[in-house]
Structure 1
C-alpha cells in the first residue's frame, strides 16, 4: 500500500529571519508547529523533515518527524522547494517506501489548517485532482503599473465596479501546503500539474513569515488562533520569585526577608509528586527562603543560576527527560532562555509581556496566587485524559 507522506523542507540558512524555522510562535518552534499540523491530520502516514541543519534535525525528531538529511547543493539560497521534495522522495524510494500522495508543508506558515489539509488529501486520493494548494478567497480589485507607471486594472474593468455579492472570488495562495500526486510530481518536477484544485482556508490563518514584522504578527495572533491543548509532560520546572510568590518581599529592620506563598500551590506540587512527576525550582537568586520552601515542598532546588537554559538542559539530560516533555513556568525576562528550549513554556497570568509572547500557555492565576496549582491541575488532567499521539514511525535520521 502506498503512503501519504508529509514532507517539510526546512534548511538552516534563512536570511530575512536568521534561524527562522526554529523561531517560536505560541511557544512552539515553527518546524514543530508544521509537524503538529501534520500529526493532527489522520490521513497522513509519515512525516519527514528535509534539512541540512543539525539543530533543526534534532528539534524535528523530538517533535515526532523522521529526518532526511539534505545535501549542501540542495540547501543554498537558490535551491527550490521542488528539489528538496524530489530528494526526499528518492530517499524514501531507496528505503522501499511507496509514496502515493505528497503533502508539502511549509514551516514558515505557522497556522496550517489540518482540516483543510485533510480535504486536499482526499481530493488527490480520490483522483478528483492531481495537485491542490491552500488559498484564501479575495474580492479585492487588483491593479498593476503599466506603461509610464500608469495604473491598469487586472481582474476587473476600471469603469465597472460591481458589488462584492455580484462578483466571483479570486484566490490567493497562502503557501501553507500543497498536496500532490507523487507519480505526477516526480514525472514533471513541479507542484502544479494536471487537474489543480483549491483548498480554501480561513483568512486569519494566511500568514507566511519572511520578516521579523511578520513573526511578531504571528506571535500576537497565536493566542487567538491556537486551540487549548492538554499539558502532557513528564516534568515541571518553575522559577521561584513571581511564580511561587507574588514577587514582593518583606524586609525587617534586622534585614530578614520574608515572602508570601500560596498553600494551594503547595498542594499542587504535592499532587505532582504523588503522580511521580518530578518538580524542580530553578532560581537566579540565592536566598535561604527558596531552600526552605523547597524542603517544605520536598522538591529539588537549584539556586544562584545565571544560565537557566544550560542548567535546565543539564538537569534534563541527567534525568533522561526530553526537553519537549518539560513544562517551564516563568514570569520574567530571565526565564525566557529556559522557556525557549522546552516543549511547554508556560507563563503566570501577570508575567512580563515578553514572557507572555514566549509562552505556549498563559495561566489564569498570578504568581503567588495559585499559578503553580493551576499548572499542576492541567498537567494531571492531561495524565488522566487521552495520551498524546504516538510517533507515526520510529524516529530516525537518514544519511
Structure 2
C-alpha cells in the first residue's frame, strides 16, 4: 500500500545562521520541531530526515525519524530542495517503500501545526489537488523598484487605493510545508504542478528562520505560540542549586556561614521522583557545605565546584547510560545555558535571566526556593504515569524502554 511520507531536508551547512537546523526555539532544535509537527499529523506514516550531518542524524533518530544520508553533491548551498526530495524518494523505493503522498517540511519554519499538514494531506489524498502549499492571507500593497530606483505598484494601482474590505486578498507562501502526489512530483520535478491548492495557516505560525534576527524573533514568540503543556517524558532530572532550590539569596552570619531558605515541598517532589526510579543530580558551580547537606537530606547525587557544568553533566549521564535528550535540566542563570542547550528538556524558573527563559522548553510556575523543583517533579511524574481506567494517574515502576523525547 502506498504510504504518506514526510521528508525534512536538513543539511549541516548554513551561512545566514550557523548550524541553523540545530538551533533552538522554545527549547527544541528546529529539526526536532519539524519532526514533531510531522508526527502530529495522523495521516503521516513515516517521517524522514535527509541530511549530510552526523549530529542532525543523531537528533532525528532520537526524535523517532528515519534518516537518509544525502550525498555531498546534493548538500551544498546551490542544491535545490527538489533534488533532496527526489533522492529521498529513490532511497525509500530502494528500501521497499511505495510513497503515494509526499509531504515536504522545512525545519526553518518552527511553528508548523500538525493539523495544517493533515488538511493538506487530505486534499491530495482525496484528489482535490495535486500539490498544496501553506500560505497566509495578505492584503498588503506590493511595490518594486525599477532599474532607475523608482517604485511601481505590483498588485495595485497606486492611483486607486481601495479599502481593505473592498479588495480581494492575496496569499503569501510561507515555505513551511508542501504536500504533493509523489508520482506527479517525480514527473514534474518541481513542487508546483497540476491542480495547485492552498492551505491557509495562522499568521503567527508563518515566520521563517533565515537570519539571526528571525531566530531571535521566533525564540521570543515561542511561549505565545507553544501554548499546549508538553508531556515531560524523561529518565532523569538535574538541577542547579542557587536560584532553583533557593530564592538566590543568602543570609551571612558574623562567622561567615551562609544560610539559605529551601522548600519542604521540593523535598517531597524529589522523594516521589526517587520512588518512581528517576535519578536526580544537583549540579553547582559553587562549593558550599549547605549544598552537600541538602543533597544528603534528599538522598541525591551532587557535583560541586564545577567549572564546566556540561562536562560534569555528560559524565554523570554517561555513567548511568542516560542520553542527554532524556534529561530535564532546570536552571536560572547564564552558567546553566550550556546544559540547557544540550538536554532534551531545558527548564527555567520564573525570573530567570532572559537568555535562560529563551532557551527553556518549559518555565515552571513556582519560583526558586518556593516549590520550583516540586513543580518540575510533578510534571515529570505526570509525563511518566499511565492513566488507570478511571482517568487518574498511577505512579509506574522504573521504565526501561527508550522513547523519542
Match of 1:210 in 2: 210
- Any idea what SS the aligned residue of 1:340 has? helix
String of CA shifts for 1:1-44, please: whole Å, max 9, x gaps: 11111100000110011100000000000000000101111110
Match of 1:390 in 2: none
Match of 1:68 in 2: 68
TM superposition score normalised by structure 1? 0.95
2: CA distance between counterparts of 1:22 and 1:48?
Answer: 16
Contact 1:12 1:51 in 2 (8 A): yes
Match of 1:127 in 2: 127
1: CA distance between counterparts of 2:356 and 2:378?
Answer: 21
String of CA shifts for 1:106-130, please: whole Å, max 9, x gaps: 0000000211110000011111111
1:22-101 map, 5 Å: 22-101=22-101
2: CA distance between counterparts of 1:233 and 1:263?
Answer: 23
Question: How many Å apart are 1:314 and its aligned residue?
Answer: 2.2
Deviates more, 1:223-232 or 1:120-129: 223-232
- Any idea what SS the aligned residue of 2:355 has? helix
String of CA shifts for 1:211-265, please: whole Å, max 9, x gaps: 1000000000100000221222111110111111111122222222221111111
Match of 1:168 in 2: 168
Match of 2:333 in 1: 332
1: CA distance between counterparts of 2:144 and 2:100?
Answer: 40
Higher-RCO chain (CA-CA 8 Å, sequence separation at least 6): 1
Q: Which runs of 5+ in 1 are unaligned?
A: 388-393
Match of 2:369 in 1: 368
- Any idea what SS the aligned residue of 2:124 has? helix
Question: How many Å apart are 1:317 and its aligned residue?
Answer: 2.0
1: CA distance between counterparts of 2:195 and 2:386?
Answer: 43
Deviates more, 1:319-328 or 1:85-94: 319-328
2: CA distance between counterparts of 1:149 and 1:253?
Answer: 73
Change beyond 3 A, Cα 1:147–1:355: closer
Question: How many Å apart are 1:159 and its aligned residue?
Answer: 2.4
Deviates more, 1:65-74 or 1:302-311: 302-311
Match of 2:108 in 1: 108
Match of 2:186 in 1: 186
Match of 2:275 in 1: 274
1: CA distance between counterparts of 2:216 and 2:147?
Answer: 37
Match of 2:307 in 1: 306
Q: Which runs of 5+ in 2 are unaligned?
A: 388-392, 394-402
Question: How many Å apart are 1:198 and its aligned residue?
Answer: 0.3
Q: How many residues align?
A: 389
